[in-house]
Amino acid sequence: MSFLVLLLAVWIEKFSALRHRVQRDEGWVRELHKLEASPRLVNRPWLILVVLVLLPVALLGLLLLVLEPVAYGLLALPVHLLVVIYSLGRGDLLAGLGPFRDAWRREDLQAAAHVAERDLGICADSADQLLERVQGHLLWEAYQSFFAVIFWYFLLGPVAALSYRLLALAEEHGQNPAVVERAAQLRHAFDWVPVRLLAASFALVGNFVAVGRVMLHELLNWNISAARLIEKVGLVAGEIPAPVVGPDGINSLDRIWELLLRAAVLWYAGFALWTVLP
């Protein structure tokens, strides 16, 4: 059932607006801010995460435990699908890059810097640094929006996928520094395996030797962030040249996207083989 859910999730994401109706975080974020502001919980970040992360995933686990034996698991299928769709990243990654791509193609660096800060939250001191950060943004957002979620769903089911997304939301929207720090620590642990698996996938669909050189030093490095690792590996795997202004700079973003698509096809092929093998 896991592979079927992953196929349906991709189809719905591409051809349906269901994702935008399912991914509504306002109520959860409101509760997060309310608990963070509570005098009783302000110094108890772990308890806040227990209430807002552990409790929802425990309830989900109980619901699935009840539904799985019924009708050969058919009643659990829509729950799996909705959880996976909810757990995917927010927004449209390519659409969000659109204004930056247009400005960079026109070689309008002032407009490119403005839309990068407005749409992507990226600031830089130079044009070269700006494009490099946008390239890293594309790699990281693709990883955390898609690859990390489908990895944990296929490995441990919807409970793990939902846990990852709720930790990401806590890190992104938290106003209590202690809560943000604890959520980031847990998310770092969640990222450790899938980000290295994606790096290995880049080696298979990109420049194997260049990726091997990077991973030789970073494979067991607990301290490197997932965002930094996937940026380093993705740029060498795609053989991305030095940043340039104009259409050639935009071409580097297209090459990164093609690398990500090839990696996604590789993952789905692996999931399919794992599913059919006895």
Phi first, then psi: give them for residue 157, nearest 5 degrees.
95, -175
Q: What local confidence, expressed as pLDDT, does residue 277 receive?
A: 78
> CB–CB of 210/225 below 8 Å?
no
How many CB atoms within 10 Å of residue 274? 11
Q: Where are the domains of the chain?
A: 1-276
- The tokens describing 157, both together, are 């089911």
Nearest of 63, 86, 64 to residue 9 by alpha carbon: 86
H or E segment and range at residue 158: helix 158-173
Q: Which pLDDT score is estimated for 261?
A: 96
pLDDT at residue 2, as a whole number: 85
Q: Which pLDDT tens digits describe the chain residue by residue (278 residues)?
A: 788 999 999 888 877 778 888 999 999 999 999 999 988 888 899 999 999 999 999 999 999 999 888 777 788 899 999 999 999 998 889 889 999 999 999 988 999 999 999 999 998 888 889 999 999 999 999 999 999 999 999 999 999 999 999 999 999 999 999 999 999 999 999 999 999 999 999 999 999 999 999 998 888 899 999 999 999 999 999 999 888 888 888 999 999 999 999 999 999 999 999 988 75
At how many degrees (to 10) do helices 177-205 and 226-237 cross? 20
What's the farthest any 2 CA atoms get from each other in the chain? 59
- Residue 8's CB is within 10 A of a number of other CB atoms, namely 17
